[in-house]
Amino acid sequence: MDIKLSAKTILDKDFKTGIRGYSQDEVDQFLDIIIQDYESFEKALAEKQQEIDVLKNELKLAQSQTSSQESRRQLTSPAYTGNTNFDILKRIANLEKHVFGDKLYD
C-alpha cells in the first residue's frame, strides 16, 4: 500500500494564494494525491475483507470437522459401547423371559 498522506500532512497543508485565491493547479494536485490514497485504502480494505471471509469459512469447516470427529469418537468410546452392550444384554434377557418364561429359571 503506497500511502502518501497522513492526517497531520493534510491538516498542515498550506496552499499558496494567487491573484484569485489559492493556486488551482496546486489544489488539484493535492486532491489527486488524496484520491489516490483513498483508492489505496479502499482496495486494501476490500482485500482484508476477502481474507477475513476466507478465514471465517475455513474456521467453520474446521469446527464442523472437529465436531463430527468428536461425535464419532463418542460413538466408539468404551463408555458408549459399554452402555450399548448393557442395553442389548438387558433386551436379550427380557426377550428370553418373554419367550421361555419361567422355564429358564427352574
Question: What's the half-sphere exposure (Cβ side, CA atoms, 13 Å) at 76?
Answer: 5
Q: Is residue 104 part of a domain?
A: no
Residues in the chain: 106
Residue pLDDT, tens place only, 8-66: 787 788 777 777 787 878 888 888 888 888 888 888 988 999 999 999 999 999 888 88
Q: Is residue 49 part of a domain?
A: yes
User: Does an H or E element contain 21, and which?
Assistant: strand 21-22
Angle between helices 78-100 and 24-76 (to 10 degrees): 40
Q: Is residue 13 part of a domain?
A: yes
Residue pLDDT, tens place only, 57-85: 999 998 888 877 777 776 666 555 556 77
Q: How many domains does the chain have?
A: 1
Overall pTM surpassing 0.85 (yes/no): no
Residue 55 has a CB neighbour count (10 Å cut-off) of 10
Q: Is residue 14 part of a domain?
A: yes
Q: Is residue 82 part of a domain?
A: no
Q: Is residue 81 part of a domain?
A: no
Q: Is residue 28 part of a domain?
A: yes
By residue range, what is the domain housing residue 61?
Answer: 7-76
